[in-house]
Structure 1
Amino acid sequence: MIRRYGEPLQQGQRYKRRPGVYAILLDGDHLLATHQAEPVPEYQLPGGGIDPGEHPIAALHREVFEETGWRVALERRLGAFRRFTYMPEYDLWAEKLCTVYLARPVRRLGPPSEPGHEAVWMSVAAALEVLGNPGDRAMLARALTGAR
C-alpha cells in the first residue's frame, strides 16, 4: 500500500491518475529545491509528470533540468506516495502517484527553462519546514534517516 499525504478526497469527485517522478537533491546539509510561482507560490522537490511513452528515469532528468537547470546523478529510489489534488494549471483533479529518488546535483548548465520556476538552495532544516506538501517533507525526512 502506498501512503497518502495531503488534502482529503473530495466525495463524488473523479480523479485522473497522474504518475510523476521527483528528486531529493542533497549536497551536504543543503537541498536544491524549486520555487514555483504559479498557481500558488511554493517550494517543491524538482520533478513532475511522466509524458506518455516516456521512461520514468528520462522524465526525472528532463523535469529536474527544466525546473532547476541542473544535471543530476541518481543514487537510489526512496519510495512513493500519493496525493489527491486539484491542478488549476491543467484544470484537472489528479491522483498524483509520486515516485521519489535520491540524487546528487552534478552540474549547473543554466537557469531553469520552465516558466515560473526558480532553483533555490536551502538548508535541509529549512526545507523540512517550507516544502509545500507533506509528502515531499516526509520523503526528505526518510532520506535523511537513510531509510530504504
Structure 2
Amino acid sequence: MRRYGEPRISGKPYRARPGAYAILPRGGRVLLTYQAGIHHEFQLPGGGIDPGESPIHALHREVYEETGWRIAKPRFLGAFRRFVFMPEYNLWAEKICHIYHALPVRKLGDPIEPDHSVHWVGPELAIDTLGNPGDRAFLQFLL
C-alpha cells in the first residue's frame, strides 16, 4: 500500500487506525470539511472506522457527523497509509485511509462534530487546499 507524507519514525509505538473518507463532487465543486481546533486544515470528510464497523457504515456516519450531509452510491477508489501523531488521542498512528467517491444527496443539518465546517470549492482549489498529500493525490486521480 502506498504511503503519503512522513515515513515511520523508528522507535515510535504506532497503532493502526483504519478510516474511510469521501470525495463528494456536486455541481462542479467538491465538498471539503475544515477542522479547526487542534488541526486547522481542510480534509476529505470521513474518519475512523470503529471496532466491528464496516468501512461503508463508517463512511456514512463520519460524513454525516462532519458535514450534515447524507451520501449515496459510494465507490471504493483505493487506499493509502500515512504515519502521524494524533494529539487529540495522544497517540502515534498508522492511518490506513480508504478513499471512496460518493454522491452528496441531502443536507440534513449542520455538522455535529465539534470544530468542523463545510466548504464547497472548485476542484483545483480543493487539490491546492487539502491538508494531506494522499487526499490530494486521490482527488487528482479522480478528476
TM-score, normalising length from structure 2? Answer: 0.97
Q: Which residue of 2 aligns with 1:11?
A: 10
Aligned to 1:77: 76
* Aligned mates of 2:126, 2:106 — CA distance in 1: 21
Counterpart in the other structure of 2:122: 123
User: Whole-Å Cα distance in 2 between the matches of residues 107 and 93 of structure 1?
Assistant: 35
Q: For residue 40 of structure 1, report the CA deviation from its aligned partner.
A: 2.0
**2:28 paired residue number:** 29
Aligned 1:132-143 pairs, distance under 5 A: 132-143=131-142
| Deviation of the 1:74 alpha carbon | 2.5
Distance 1:75 1:49 in 2: 17
Tell me if the contact between 1:74 and 1:101 (Cα under 8 Å) persists in the aligned partners: no
Please name the residue that 1:67 is paired with: 66
Amino acid across the alignment from 2:61: R
1:111 shift after superposition: 0.1
In the aligned structure 2, how far is the partner of 1:75 from the partner of 1:92?
A: 30
Structure 1 spans left out of the alignment, 5+ residues:
none
Instruction: Tell me if structure 2 keeps the 8 A contact 1:33–1:122.
Output: yes
TM-superposed CA distance for 1:29, in Å, is: 2.3
SS at structure 2 position matched to 1:23: strand
Q: Give CA-to-partner distance per residue, 1:11-43, whole Å, 9 cap, x none.
A: 211200000000000113210010000212000
1:4 shift after superposition:
0.2
Count of aligned pairs between the two proteins: 143
Check the 8 A contact 1:31/1:121 in 2, yes or no: yes
Q: 2:4 is aligned with what amino acid?
A: Y
Query: Residue 42 of structure 2 aligns with which residue?
Result: 43
Q: TM-score, normalised by structure 1?
A: 0.94
Partners of 1:128 and 1:14 lie apart in 2 by 31
Does the residue aligned with 1:61 lie in a helix, a strand or coil? helix
Q: Deviations over 1:93-124 (max 9, x none)?
A: 00000000000110000000000000111110
Question: Which whole-Å CA distance do the structure 2 matches of 1:57 and 1:75 have between them?
Answer: 8
CA RMSD of aligned residues (A): 0.8
